[in-house]
Amino acid sequence: MIFFHPMDFLILIAFAVSIWAQFRVKGTFNRWAQVPNQSGMTGYDAARAMLDRNGLYDVPIEPVRGVLSDHYDPINRVVRLSEPVYYERSIAAVSVACHEVGHAIQHKVRYPMLVARHRIFPLVNFASGIAPLLLLAGFFFQAAGLFLLGVIFFSAAVAFQLITLPVEFNASSRARALMVSEGFITNEEERGVAKVLNAAALTYVAAALISVLELVKYIMIFRSSDE
């Protein structure tokens, strides 16, 4: 059945890991948000310096409301930083700010995985909306063709999650390397930066794991119904 399947046990475990990862990233951010960085730079200062030193003078930085709402907007080419990151002079603030600039640098150099993610986004946006409907319709009406189509569309959403992993890890690695080389942080402070960025990365890993397990579940259901 689609609702009660042996894979559900693993999916529940992955979901629990995802919730734990969300709590961990908030806790890690809050901890290192209390630790001032020795350079005295705010998140904005670090992001602006990192952008300028990579020739991205025309990419603006905007403050946005919320906590951990930081992101890079590739359509408008804007780095948006949450207010705690934009204004504060902490290890956490410069870590998150420089990570988002890492995405802007990826955009500039046309990092292959980022390009792939941008190209499949319209398909994924459509697929993620229609896949659940097709899966449910295929299951309730015992229509294998509809169910298979749902699996195919869901696969596109899973592919997007998997492509996101190297994009996020690469942005973090760019940020860490540049922060040290440019003197935004000291070698001793890199430990705190690593903890902040690794905690954030874990949330993407957990989300991808859930998606992969769900896809395996749907494939198993399809194969069993085809026998």
User: How far is Cα 96 from Cα 106, in angstroms, rounded to an integer?
Assistant: 16
Cβ atoms of residues 46 and 89 within 8 Å: no
92 CB-near residues (< 8 Å, 6+ apart): 28, 29, 30, 31, 32, 33, 35, 85, 192, 196
Full 3-state SS string of 64-110: ECCCCCCEEECCCCEEEEEHHHHHCCEHHHHHHHHHHHHHHHHHHHC
Beta strand 61-64 with 78-82 is parallel
Question: Is-catalytic flag, 100?
Answer: yes
The residue from 100, 168, 189, 214 that is catalytic is: 100
Cβ atoms of residues 38 and 185 within 8 Å: yes
User: How far is Cα 34 from Cα 91, in angstroms, rounded to an integer?
Assistant: 8
Give me 5's structure tokens: 């399947």
User: How far is Cα 105 from Cα 18, in angstroms, rounded to an integer?
Assistant: 28
Enzyme catalytic residues? 100
